[in-house]
Amino acid sequence: MVLDLKTSSEALSEEIAEADGKVRRSRVSGMDRALQVIDYLYETGAPAGAYAIAKAVKAPLSTVYVIIDDLVEKNMLARNADGLIWLGARLYHYGLAYARSLDFMSVATHEMHDLCREAGETVQVCGRDAEHMLVLAMADGPSHFQVASRVGTRVPLNWTASGRLLVGHMPEEERIELFKRGARISPTGRATVDATTLSDAAAKAFEERLSIQAGESDYSVACIASPIVDNGGDCVATISIVLPEQKVLADKSGYADRVKASAARIEKLMGWRNH
């Protein structure tokens, strides 16, 4: 949310308070003040007037009026017939989006554990964090095979099978620019760093709903991943099997079929199989 620079920023960035007979200046950002107003309404659970809000958040009434007007205009707050202020419809939509994200992780985690039991290997759910792939959830396989990446691990997109899929839906120019910024030489030296090559591979993997890499980030470690695609056609996450490289060579199609089926089941349960 960006508040109007000609009004809110000037009104909110500096407030004058009297202390010990001297003028003391304190800086509070427009975003902080907006959150204070929203938090107050949320915590009290009832509509309130501008004066009550200003008193509660210890802000000048003129500042609170500016905040309220901006947020009402942006549908973050609503003004009822009595002039009282309450939370707006836009916040409700944000809440729904957040709830859907929680539903997604619940569905994806359940499927992740099912795939782990079925394949007998470690399974991960991964997402994108700028130019990096991020491990969101993980189920350890029953074998003694150790996977270096754990939940919270963040690695360059060009090192992993999932990394390519996570940007495969993007326009070509955006993919190339992203790989130009973020591609790095991997510990094994086997990961591709050329942005155009990576972009082409990402698009192909996304179209085929399958990406396989072996030994690019870790020696003798392979990953077989499939994209989880929402109704808009964007890859919101991936599900992948992480296993010894030799096992992929022995049964590539078997693992590929399993991981693609798992991704499809997640999409179906989330109501995303319309793309």
- Write the DSSP assignment of 113-126 as a string of letters: HHHHHHHTSEEEEE
Please tell me the pTM assigned to this model.
0.65
pLDDT for residue 6 is more than 60: no
pLDDT tens digits for range 125-183:
999 998 999 999 999 988 777 787 889 899 999 999 999 999 999 999 999 999 999 99
CA distance 162 to 243: 14
Residue 198 pLDDT level (bands cut at 50, 70, 90): very high
pLDDT tens digits for range 90-108:
998 888 887 777 789 999 9
Phi and psi at residue 64, in whole multiples of 5°? -65, -35
CATH architecture of the domain with range 5-87: Orthogonal Bundle (1.10)
Would you call 158 helix, strand, or coil by DSSP?
helix
Kind and range of the H or E run holding 132: strand 132-139
Which pLDDT does position 27 carry in this prediction? 58
**CATH 1.10.10.10 residue spans of the chain:** 5-87
CATH topology of domain 99-269: Beta-Lactamase (3.30.450)
**CATH 3.30.450.40 residue spans of the chain:** 99-269
- Give the C-alpha distances (Å, rounded to integers) separating 118 from 50, 151, 157: 59, 21, 27
Which pLDDT does position 17 carry in this prediction? 42
